[in-house]
Amino acid sequence: MFRFLMSIRWIGFAIFVVLLAGVCVRLGLWQIHRLDHRLDQNKVISAHFKAAPVDLSSALPPGDGVDDSTEWTRVTATGTYDVEHQVTVKFSTRDGAPGVDVVTPLVLADGSAVLVDRGWIETNNTVDHPDVPPPPPGEVSIMGWLRQDNGAGSDATRPVNGQIRAISSIGMATSVPYDLSNGYLNLRTQQPAADDALALEPKPELGQGPHFFYALQWWFFALLASVGYFWFAWAEAKERRNPTRIDGFATTADPRDL
């Protein structure tokens, strides 16, 4: 009854189903891997938030880069804001409202600097030079979260008319007259405080995200493809067992071949 499964058409169909199901299973496992990574990162972030702030030079020695184990460390630094090389990150939104993040280099005592995301302000994204509140003048002591550079290309991280689309010390390096520490800081507190404070970066979500449910969806698609193959095979076997009648005569031929 099922000898038709050895036909070229059905063998091709079976290969397609196996490949489709295999891809769906692999994508489900990938989502589980992302879930594991996120849960591990949540533990690291929670530990950093509970730990006391450390000096930037201790958290990030010269030549070291920010990685998954050091990101979100609370660090302190003292220096002077360089407003001349300040940039804004366009196309930054909060709750659907358009705006920009304000990134200002903080020049340290040794002459190097670290990029500081001072916060967000609502403004029209079409404005080339939005009016943003100035930072405190003179020497400032800050505390912030250590963040990794955005991995976007130079077209997004290199300033054009004082604006960027993603924050990266690598992309900014050629636009400032001093060495930049790897990564950047999300400002949390500063002394003295600014006259007009910007909206600070909100705390990261520490939930598990949608990865587990995405994995279930991909595995459901794999099951659906497999079940679908057997259902179509059963349907064709039933058709062959009960041949179609034409003009009162039974025929054992496959109707698709007529």
Mean pLDDT over all residues of the chain? 87
85 within domain boundaries: yes
Which band of pLDDT confidence, cut at 50, 70 and 90, is reported for residue 196? confident
Domain end call among 130, 156, 191: 191
pLDDT at 245: 55
Residue 187 shares a structural domain with residue 80: yes
pLDDT at 257: 43
48 within domain boundaries: yes
Beta pairing partners, 51: none
Residue 77 shares a structural domain with residue 173: yes
- What's the one-letter identity of residue 183? G
Ranges of beta strands (E only) in the chain are: 54-55, 74-81, 87-94, 97-108, 113-122, 139-147, 163-164, 180-191, 245-246, 249-250
Residue 213 shares a structural domain with residue 150: no
> b/e map of 236-248 (b: 16 or more CB within 10 Å)?
beeebeeeeeeee
Residue 48 shares a structural domain with residue 112: no
99 within domain boundaries: yes
Q: State how many domains the chain has.
A: 2
Model confidence pLDDT, tens digit, residues 22-59: 999 999 999 999 999 888 888 988 898 899 999 998 88
From first CA to last CA, the distance across the chain in angstroms is: 20
Residue 23 shares a structural domain with residue 130: no
Domain end call among 147, 162, 191: 191
pLDDT at 230: 86
Residue 108 shares a structural domain with residue 163: yes
253 within domain boundaries: no
Which band of pLDDT confidence, cut at 50, 70 and 90, is reported for residue 202? confident
State pTM to two decimals.
Answer: 0.74
Assess whether pLDDT exceeds 60 at residue 193. yes
Model confidence pLDDT, tens digit, residues 117-149: 999 999 887 666 788 899 999 999 999 999 999
pLDDT at 11: 86
166 within domain boundaries: yes
Least confidently predicted of 142-151, 180-189, 233-242: 233-242
3-class SS at 231? Answer: helix
Residue 42 shares a structural domain with residue 89: no
Residue 79 shares a structural domain with residue 181: yes
Which band of pLDDT confidence, cut at 50, 70 and 90, is reported for residue 71? very high
249 within domain boundaries: no
Residue 168 shares a structural domain with residue 122: yes
Residue 209 shares a structural domain with residue 161: no
Residue 47 shares a structural domain with residue 77: no
250 within domain boundaries: no
258 within domain boundaries: no
Tally of CB atoms within 10 A around 197: 13
Residue 40 shares a structural domain with residue 82: no
Range of the domain at 37: 1-53+205-244
